[in-house]
Amino acid sequence: MRVPFLDYPRPIALAHRGGGAHAPENSWTAFEHAVGLGYAYLETDARATSDGMLMAFHDRTLDRVTDASGPINALPYREVKALRVGGSEPIPRIEDLLGAWPDVRFNIDLKDEPGIPLLADVLHRTGAWDRVCVTSFSGSRLRTARGLFERPVCMTTSPAAIAAVRCAISATPHGPQTRLLAGRFSRSQMRCTQVPGRVATGSFIRRAHALGLDVHVWTINDRAAMTRFLDLGADGIFTDDIETLRDLLIERGQWHPRAAG
């Protein structure tokens, strides 16, 4: 059964961190540029401040993209909001991003444990249950989040589930092993698998589809690679180079922009 987050024409174009090839990553400018191009899906990361504010920020520490240093979760929000990404861009709150574009869907990567209950609270306040997909490199974070959400939310496969898909790749598409695994994924609200390009082989994509999973490939910034994964049947592509992906999809007749609003 198609969940609301994935109820959109394929292939899905996902602006990775808003599209870091054109503006500082996870910044308002990046997200606004992606939305202006017609992107219906934005990808971002979620980390907590020391006083419980959920921010769109990837790294554990501030060193790489700001002129500050140390863990972001060691600082209160009043200090974090004064920092600038790339010297000019404030760090957005997840709640503000969800509120800015009520029609846009967000792929949210939970980067730390303190952010899990904060995301549950944000979704409760915003009612954005049907337009988020929650992902993490930690299976325990995904399990904890699933237990805290008051409504079903689209979730990606855990690392262990991805390994299960890869190990069972030669199983009969409609055999008992496939049905068992597909049922387990469905009960865990895992509706898609998001994997790096090296994992997204043709056989992996076919196997994932047999298990009822969409396949989203990250992070593809090369036009030839974008073409290859689209030809393999990938359901979505994450990219920093959102202009190249959009242009390619337009040429292929596969660009499905969000409705202006």
Q: Would you call 124 a catalytic residue per the annotation? A: no
Q: Which tokens sit at 198?
A: 């090296």
Grouping H, G, I as helix, E, B as strand and the rest as coil, residue 206 is helix
Whether the bond between 11 and the residue before it is cis, its omega within 30 degrees of 0, is yes
> Measured between alpha carbons, how far is 246 from 261 in angstroms, rounded to an integer?
19
Q: Which tokens sit at 72?
A: 């972001």
Instruction: State the catalytic residue, choosing from 16, 33, 216, 256.
Output: 16
Cα dist. 159→104, 113, 165, 183 in Å?
Answer: 27, 17, 10, 17
Give φ, ψ of 234 to 5 degrees.
Answer: -60, 140
Instruction: State the catalytic residue, choosing from 22, 58, 124, 209.
Output: 58
In eight-state DSSP terms, residue 71 is: B
Q: Would you call 58 a catalytic residue per the annotation? A: yes
CB atoms within 10 A of CB 81: 15
Active site amino acids: 16, 58
